[in-house]
A and B are shown apart, each in its own frame.
Chain A
Amino acid sequence: MLTTILIIVGGFILLASILSIADNLLQIEAKKSGIDTAKENMSLFPRIGDLFKKKAPSFAKDNYHSLTKGHNIKLSGEAQGPVQDVHVNRFAIQPPNFRGIAPIPKMEVNIGDEVKAGDVLFHDKANPAIKYTSPVSGELVELNRGEKRSISEIVILADKEQKHKKFDVPSLEGDTVSANIKDTLMEAGLWPLINARPFDVIADPTVTPRDIFISGFNTAPLSPDMDIVVDGRMDEFQKGIDVLNHLTDGTVFLSLGVDNKGGVLASTNNAEIHWFSGPHPAGNVGVQIHHISPIKMKDVVWTLDVQDVISIGNLFKNGTVDLRRVVALTGASMNENKFVRTSAGANIGELVGDSITVDNYRIVAGNVLTGKETSTSKYLNISDNQITVLKEGDEHELFGWLLPVSPRPSVSGTFPNFLFPNFKFDPDTNTHGEKRAFVVTGEYERMLPMDIYPQHIMKAIMSNDYERMEGLGILELSEEDVALCEFACTSKQPLQSILRTGLDMMREQM
C-alpha cells in the first residue's frame, strides 16, 4: 500500500518537474525574442484568469478589459430627457478647486471690473504663467474670502449677451507646436483643466507626460450619460484629442464602456481606444490607467475629463474660452431630474431652483461618493457635471443596525438587496454605525479592481511608513478610486481623507 502510494506520488513529482522546466524554458525563450510575457501567454498552461475571463465583444477586439470587482450603487432620481438651457446670473471661480496652487492667488482684476469670457482673473503666485480666466462675461461683483484671508470665491454677474475674448490660435504644425499649445492653454486659462498623476494635481507645464488618459464613460452613482454630454460637440472633442496628441510623446488613451458600444465617442480618431466592462469604479480614470499602462516610478501621466477636452478643442477651433457644461440634476429628493446646460461655476441655487421636495436635505456638488457638500448660495466646482440632492439622515433608528426599516444600499450579503438587483435606493446621509478600528478584511479589495491592497496602504499612511505606501502603490490611487471602499467600509473609516493625507505627505517628500 505504502509503496504504491509513494510510486504514484513520485511519478507525479517527476512529471510535474518536467512540465515546469519545459514551461520555464519556453518563457525564457519568449523573453529572449522580446515578447512581453505579461501580456502574451507563452506558457504551456492557460492562465487561470483567461479561463474565467469574459469573451471580448466583437467591436472591442484587442484592448478589452473585463473588470469584475466593484459595485454599482443603484439610486433613484436619475436625470432624464433632453438638455435644457437655463439662465444663470451668478458664476464664481473658486481657487480652492485647483489642487496645488498657493492659497492666496494674485488677483489681476478688481471688484467692479467688466470681464469677457477668457479674460484673466488671477494667477498662481508660485507659477505666474498659469492664468485662471473667467468662464463667462460680466461684472466682477464679489470677492469672498475663506480661512486666513485666502480667496474662496470670485463672483461674476453674467451678461445677458455673452462676450468672448478672441485668442490667436497657433497652427498644429512645426517644431515648436508643443510649446505654442502650452502657452495658448495657459494664456486662455484652460491649463488648470489638465490633471497630473500621481497625486492628482494641476499639471506642471515643464513636464512632458508619458501618456494622456481620458475616461469616456461614467459609472459613478447617477452620473450623466456621456452621449448626452458630448451630443453635438464631437468636432470639438476630436480637435481637443488632436491637440493633446502634441503634448505627449506617448499615446492619448480614450477608455470606453462596452455597454452601449462606446456611444458617439467610439468614432474618435487619433486616440487609442480601450474597452472596459464592469461595475463602478471601472469608469474611473485611475482604474483604467492601472489596466492600460500602470504608473511606474517617476512616471507622470495626465488625465482629462471629456468636457475639458471639448473646451480645449473649442479653443483651438473657434479661438474662444467656452466652459459650458452639461450638468445632471439628480437625486430622488427633487421633483424634476433633468440635464441643464450652463457654464462652470454656476450658482447652485439658481440651477436647483425650488425643485427640492424635502425639508431636511443636503446638496452635493458631484456624485454621492466623491462630491462636496454645498448649498444654494455656493457655486459649481470647476469639474462638476452633476448635482445630487439627498435627504439628511440625522435621526435615531430603533434597532437600525439589526432590523433596518427602510431599504438602504449595501454590498453586504446580510441585506436582502441581492434578491432585488434592479431596485433603486433613495438613501440618506446617515452613517449607519459608528467609527471603529479596522476589523473586517478583504472588503476593500472586493471594491477596487486594481492589484492593490487598500487597507494596508491606509495602515501604512496612518503609521507614516513612506516606503511601504509607495511600494504598495499609493501613487496609482486618487480619492475617487477608494471612494467606493469608503462607502462599503464596515468600520466607517474616512478612507478618502486618509489617502489624501498620504498623497500630500508623499508630494512633500518628492
Chain B
Amino acid sequence: MGLLDFWKRIEPDKKKSPFLHTAYDAFFTFMYSPKSVTKGGVHIRDGMDLKRTMVHVVIAMQLCYLFGTYNIGHQHFVAAGQYLGFLEGFHLKLAHGLIKLLPLFIWTNVVGLGIEFYFAAKRGHAVEEGFLVSGALIPLIMPPDLPIWILCVSVAFAVIIGKEAFGGTGMNIWNVALLARVFVFFAYPTTISGDTVWVSGFADAEGNMSLAPGAMADYGFWHNLCNTLFGWIGIDGFNAAKTAVVDGYSGATPLALAYAGGWEAVTEQYSAAQMWWGTIPGSVGETSKIFILLGAIFLIVTRVASWRIMVSMFLGAVAMSLLLNAWGATPFMTVPWYYQFWMGSFFFAMAFMATDPVTACSTNRGKWIYGFLIGFIGMIVRVMNPAYPEGWMLAILFLNTFSALIDHYVLEANISKRLSRA
C-alpha cells in the first residue's frame, strides 16, 4: 500500500490547478480502479468497464503494430534491393520501423491526449477513455513518412472538431481516427496518395521525399545512434551511401496495380503469400491480412466488437464485387471478387474502423444494414474512384453520417409493430 499512499500524497489541488488534477486523476484511475461502491439500483456490477473495453481493442491491434514496425523497414530495404529475405537485416528493419513509427505514435497521443485532458479539465469531468483506441489506430492508418506537423494538425482537427465539439467520448458522429486520416487525405493529398508515399526513408537530391530511381536513403540522428549501437555489437548498420532506390522499382500498391491492369498486373509484382502476410507497401498497420484477422477474431470472441457489422460488411463487399464482375467494364472490375480481399485495407476497416460502437448503428438490425452498405459502397469507391483506389475510409464516414437515420427507421419499425398490436 506504500504506492497508494505515495499517489495520495502527490494529488494536486483540484481548485488551484484543474488541469493538473485532471491529468493526475486520469493516471491515478489508470493505475488503480476506483473504490466507489454501488448506490441505489443493483448492488453488484459487472467487472467490465470502458477502460477494459478500450484496452482490449488496443490489445487486438498489437500484432498489427509488431508487423507494421517490421514492414516499414522491410519495404524500405526492398525498394533499395537489399535484405530481400524475411529475416535478413531483421534488426535494421525493426530499427528503421521504430524510428518511423514511434514519432507517429508519440505525437498522436501527445496532441490527442493533451486536447482530451484540456477539455476534461475545462468541463470538470474525468478523462474518458475514447482516445485510448483512437490514439492507437491513427498511427496504423497513416503512411510511414507522413510529416509530423501534418499528423499533429490532423489529430487536433479530429479531436476538437470531430469529438470535443460534440461533447466528448460517446457523443461523436464520425470515427475520430478516420476523421484524422480524411483530413490529411483532403488537405494534403500528396502525402497520402499515389505510388510513392507508402515506402519510407528516401529523398532526392533536394531533400524531398522521393522514390525515383537513384533516390538516396535519408537517414538521420536516430539511424546514426542505432549504427553506433549495432557497431558495438558488431552487426550490420545502416549505410546511407549504399542504399538507393533500385531501377524499375515503383512502390505501387496492389490496388494501384489492379486499377491499372487488373489482377494479372498485381500478380506480376506480388504473390498471394506476400499480400496475405502483408510484406507489401501500404499504411503502417493495414497490410497484414492474417494478423488483422487474428485481431478480429479476438474482438469477436471477447464480444468487444460487433460480429454483425463484420459479417455484413464482408457480405456487402462480396455482393458489390460480384456485380462489378458481371459488369466488367474496366480491368479493375474484372478482378474476381475473392481476390478483392487479397488487396487493400478491407479487413483493417472491417475489424477496427466500422465496428466503433459510438459511430456505428446501435440496433442489431441497423448493424446489419450499416455493415452491408459500407461493404457495398466501399467497393464502388475502391473500384471506380480514379484518384484513389480504396474506399473504406470514405464509405465508413459516409455511413457514420447515416447510422442515426438507419437506427431511426429500425426504431420506428419497432414502434409501429407495437402500435399494430393495439
Write the residues of chain A forming the contact surface with B, with a CB cutoff of 8 angstroms. 1-2, 5-6, 9, 73, 294, 296-298, 362, 364, 368-371, 373, 388, 390, 392-402, 404, 408-415, 427-434, 436-442, 445, 451-453, 455-456, 468, 471-473, 483, 486-492, 494-497
Residues 213-247 (chain B) with a chain A CB within 8 angstroms: none
CB neighbours (8 Å) of A2 from chain B are 326-328
Partner of B40, one of A390, A398, A411, A497: A497
**B382 interface residue (CB < 8 Å to A):** no
The answer to whether A490 touches B46 (Cβ under 8 A) is yes
Question: Which B residues have a C-beta under 8 Å from some C-beta of A?
Answer: 3-4, 29, 31-53, 55-56, 126, 128-130, 167-171, 301-304, 306, 326-328, 357-358, 360-364, 367, 407, 411, 414-415, 417-419, 421-422
A402→B32 contact, CB < 8 A: no
**In the complex, which residue of chain B has the Cβ closest to the Cβ of A402?**
B55
Tell me, rounded to whole Å, the shortest Cβ–Cβ distance linking B305 to chain A. Answer: 10
Q: Roughly how many angstroms separate A413 CA and B411 CA in the complex, as a whole number?
A: 28
Dominant secondary structure of chain B at its interface with chain A:
loop
Contact partner, B35, options A430, A468, A473, Cβ 8 Å: A430
A134 to B124 CA separation, bound complex (whole angstroms):
51
Task: Please determine whether A434 and B29 come into contact, CB atoms closer than 8 angstroms.
Answer: yes
A368-B43 contact in complex given A438-B170, A453-B411, C-beta closer than 8 Å:
yes
CA distance A400 to B128 in the complex (A): 17
17 of the cross-chain contacts (CB-CB < 8 Å) are A9-B326, A296-B421, A368-B44, A369-B42, A373-B39, A388-B43, A414-B303, A429-B38, A436-B170, A440-B357, A441-B306, A442-B357, A468-B411, A471-B419, A486-B41, A489-B46, A490-B48
Question: B169 contacts A441, CB within 8 Å?
Answer: no
Out of B42, B302, B364, which one reaches A442, CB within 8 Å?
B364
Nearest Cβ on chain B to A476's Cβ, whole angstroms:
9
Q: Contact check: which of A369, A408, A473, A491 meets B43 at CB < 8 Å? A: A369
State whether A472 and B43 are in contact (beta carbons under 8 Å apart), knowing that A6-B326, A401-B52 are contacts in the complex: no
Contact (Cβ within 8 A) A455 B362: yes
Chain A residues, Cβ within 8 Å of B170: 436-439, 491
Check if B169 sits within 8 Å of A437, measured CB to CB. Answer: yes
Contact B49 A434 (CB under 8 A): yes
Residues of B within 8 A of A451 (CB): 414, 417
Chain B contacts for A488, CB-based, 8 A: 46, 48
B335 to chain A, nearest CB (A): 15
- Contact across chains for A442 and B362 when beta carbons are under 8 A apart: yes
B155 CB to closest chain A CB (Å) equals 20
Decide: A436 near B128, CB < 8 A? Known: A2-B328, A442-B364: yes
Residues of the B chain whose Cβ atoms lie less than 8 Å from the Cβ of A440: 50, 53, 357
What separation, in Å, do the CA atoms of A12 and B283 have in the docked complex? 41
Q: Cβ of B34 and Cβ of A494 under 8 Å apart?
A: no
In the bound complex, do residue A396 and residue B32 qualify as a contact, i.e. CB atoms below 8 Å apart? yes
> Does B42 contact A296, Cβ atoms closer than 8 Å?
no
- Which of B3, B303, B418 contacts A473, CB < 8 Å? B418
Determine whether the beta carbon of A396 is less than 8 Å from that of B47: no
Q: Give bound CA distance, A327 to B409, whole Å.
A: 47
Number of contacts between A and B (CB, 8 Å)?
Answer: 219
B43 proximity list for chain A (CB < 8 A): 362, 364, 368-369, 371, 373, 388, 390, 429
CB <8 Å contact, A439 and B48: no
Q: What residue in chain A is nearest B8 (Cβ atoms)?
A: A396
Q: CB within 8 A of A429: which of B3, B4, B31, B44? A: B44
On whether the beta carbons of A433 and B56 are closer than 8 Å, the reply is no
Q: Would you call B48 and A414 a contact (CB within 8 A)?
A: yes
* B42 in contact with A496 (CB, 8 Å): yes
Residue from the list B34, B48, B422 in contact with A396, Cβ < 8 A:
B34
* Contact call A432/B301, Cβ cutoff below 8 A: no
B36-A431 in contact (CB<8A): yes
Q: Which 7 A-B pairs have the closest CB atoms?
A: A433-B49, A400-B33, A437-B170, A471-B415, A441-B362, A413-B302, A408-B47
Whether the pair A471, B51 counts as a contact (CB closer than 8 A) is: no
Contact A471 to B418, CB < 8 A, known contacts A410-B47, A431-B37: yes
Of A396, A409, A456, which is within 8 A of B33 by CB?
Answer: A396
User: Could you say which residues of chain A place their CB within 8 Å of the CB of B304?
Assistant: 413-414
Determine the chain B residues whose CB is within 8 A of the CB of A368 once the complex forms: 42-44
A487 and B421 contacting across the interface, CB-CB below 8 Å: no
Instruction: Tell me whether A486 and B52 are in contact in the complex, defined as CB-CB below 8 angstroms, given that A396-B34, A412-B47, A472-B411 are known contacts.
Output: no
In the complex, what residues of A have CB within 8 A of residue B422's CB?
296-298
Cβ of A140 to closest chain B Cβ, rounded Å = 30
Write the chain B residue with the least CB distance to A425.
B44
Given known contacts A438-B170, A439-B169, A432 and B45 CB-to-CB distance under 8 angstroms: yes
Chain A residues lying within 8 Å of B363, measured Cβ to Cβ, are 441, 445, 453, 456
The smallest C-beta distance from A381 to any residue of chain B, in angstroms, reads: 15
Q: How far is the CA of A471 from the CA of B306 in the complex (A)?
A: 26
Cβ of B360 and Cβ of A436 under 8 Å apart? no
Smallest Cβ distance from A382 to chain B, in angstroms?
Answer: 19
Contacts of A362 in B (CB 8 A): 37, 43
Residues B46 and A436 in contact, CB atoms below 8 Å apart:
no
Q: How far is the CA of A5 from the CA of B325 in the complex (A)?
A: 10
Does the CB pair A494–B41 fall under 8 Å?
A: yes
B47/A486 in contact, CB under 8 A: no
Asked whether, in the complex, the Cβ of B49 is within 8 Å of the Cβ of A492, the reply is yes
Chain A contacts of B361 at CB under 8 A?
441
Known: A2-B328, A401-B52, A440-B53. A434 touches B34 (CB 8 A): yes
- Which chain A residues border B360 with CB–CB below 8 Å? 441
Q: Which residues of B contact A428 (CB under 8 A)?
A: 37, 44
B residues near A487, Cβ cutoff 8 Å: 42, 44-46
Give the most central of B45, B53, B169: most A CB within 10 Å.
Answer: B45
Question: Can you name the residue of chain B whose Cβ is closest to the Cβ of A457?
Answer: B411
Q: How far is the CA of A431 from the CA of B3 in the complex (A)?
A: 22
Chain B residues with CB under 8 Å of A410's CB are 46-48
Residues of A within 8 A of B35 (CB): 393-396, 430
The CB with the most chain A CB atoms within 10 A, among B168, B171, B363, is that of B363
Query: Do B49 and A432 touch (CB < 8 A)?
Result: yes
Instruction: From the candidates A388, A414, A431, A496, name the one contacting B302 in the complex (CB within 8 A).
Output: A414
Most buried by B among A370, A395, A452, A496: A395
